[in-house]
Amino acid sequence: MHEDPTVGAADTAEPVTRGGSVAPVASPSHRLRPVAFGGVIAATVVVAAAWVVGASVSLTAATAPSVMLQPYLDALEDGHLERAVAMDGTAAAAAQLGYSADLLTDERYALATDRPTAYRVGATRTENGVATVDVAFERGGERQTTAFTLRSQPSGFLWFSAWRIEPASLPTITVPTVRFGALDLSVGGEHVGTVDETTVYVVGPGKYDIAADSTTGFFDFEVPSVEAEWDGRPTAYLYPTLTALGREGATAAVHAYVDACIASTSYEPEGCSIAIDNSEGDEMSGVTWVLTRGPEFEFSEYSATAGFLVTTTRRGSADFLAAFASASGEYGIVTAEDCEVWVDGAVVLSTDGTWTFDPYTW
């Protein structure tokens, strides 16, 4: 094989300038070499892609629902209930429902016992932009598991989503004060306010020693320790019981009702159990009722809409006497014995401090 003498000749020929003179030749050590721009660009793209992948992994982990929930859980664990409910909007949700957030302060929450002291995040389930995170809490030496809901929303950074905590299903304590004046409410032995209307309190998870004292002296509220759970059910409804003073006033109201029925001059007193059948339409005059045996009754549970319920345990009796005149011209005296007297209904305390018996419709 022969070598072509022209191959490589251009490498050794002396360069000539446009004017024909010989141009200076650069020494071999300073010759300019072509730069591999394609390789540099490719390497830059690979590094950038690796950074984006790494950043994506980091941001995805940092914006995971369980991670977004952690500050809320930390606040609960540290007893900072105000901070927690500010994160999930519980206070605002309570206000929309007409509930009170007065017990959602750190100071009031400190009065509860068996609050969450530690937590462990469990499984996360995500579907259609809604995440459910299971969390196990340590409370009073026992483990309690609950689920929190988070909803995705745009984060404003690339294609990543942030997660907003939905208001937790916190428990409630209802203090019914309608119909019987104001109450002094205390938690853990500390007075927290005076309630003058039915109030639903939203509370944090824990154990509450609730007490309510009537400012009228007519009622007691014997409430055991309240276990406030996360299931959102009404945790406690403070049912009042009658004190000796309250029972005295309520009993007097029932007796006054019976007395008013007996004093009636109608053969069919309105709102009373006693009545005479006058289907013939006779004219009655000189109507007299005589109570021969008073009814026996007892006070049962309290109804927020009615008051203290009254149940007849033994019916009383009354005799009836009146003159009558019929349309056909007959007249005479009509009598009836052992007409039943009962007092089923409810007693309520009026705003002026007097008791009233409200009978069922007969």
Report the pLDDT averaged over residues 188-201: 85
Per-residue pLDDT, 284: 93
Least confident among 111-125, 142-156, 230-244, 263-277 = 230-244
What residue type is assigned to position 350 of the chain? S
What domains does the chain contain, in order, with CATH numbers?
62-79+115-165 (3.10.450), 172-240 (2.60.40), 244-359 (no CATH)
Between 362 and 55, the more confident residue is 362
What interhelical angle do 65-77 and 81-88 show, nearest 10?
Answer: 150
Report the pLDDT averaged over residues 131-148: 89
Report the pLDDT averaged over residues 140-151: 88
Inter-residue contact 149 to 131 (CB < 8 Å): yes
Look at residue 199 and give its three-state secondary structure.
strand
311 forms bridges with which residues in the sheet?
Answer: 298
Q: Which residue has the tokens 């020693």?
A: 209
Report the pLDDT averaged over residues 294-308: 88
Q: How many residues are given for the chain?
A: 362
Report the pLDDT averaged over residues 220-245: 71
Per-residue pLDDT, 125: 94
d(CA 357, CA 348): 7
d(CA 267, CA 286): 10
d(CA 295, CA 315): 5
Per-residue pLDDT, 264: 97
Report the pLDDT averaged over residues 19-27: 41
Range with top average pLDDT, 7-11, 169-173, 179-183:
169-173
- The pairing of strands 172-175 and 199-202 is antiparallel
Q: Is the pLDDT of residue 201 over 80?
A: yes
To the nearest whole percent, how much of the chain has pLDDT over 70? Answer: 75
Per-residue pLDDT, 234: 57
Per-residue pLDDT, 299: 95
In the β-sheet with 210-214, what is the strand arrangement from edge to edge? 190-195, 183-187, 210-214
Check the CA dihedral 167-169-170-175 and report its sign: positive
Between 178 and 216, the more confident residue is 216
Q: Which residue has the tokens 């039915």?
A: 198
Residue whose C-alpha is closest to residue 170's, from 133, 137, 203: 203
Average pLDDT, the chain: 79
pLDDT digits (tens, 9 = 90+) for 263-287: 999 999 999 999 999 988 899 999 9
d(CA 345, CA 298): 11
Residue whose C-alpha is closest to residue 316's, from 226, 270, 254, 361: 254
Q: Is the pLDDT of residue 30 over 50?
A: no
Residue whose C-alpha is closest to residue 353's, from 216, 177, 240: 216
Per-residue pLDDT, 248: 95
Grade residue 179 by pLDDT with cuts at 50, 70 and 90.
low
Q: Is the pLDDT of residue 206 over 80?
A: yes
Per-residue pLDDT, 338: 95
Least confident among 80-84, 303-307, 355-359 = 303-307
pLDDT digits (tens, 9 = 90+) for 86-128: 998 888 888 888 999 999 999 999 998 889 889 999 999 999 9
Between 241 and 257, the more confident residue is 257
Look at residue 86 and give its three-state secondary structure.
helix
Range with top average pLDDT, 20-24, 61-65, 293-297:
293-297
Per-residue pLDDT, 293: 97
What radius of gyration do the chain's Cα atoms show?
43
d(CA 20, CA 9): 19
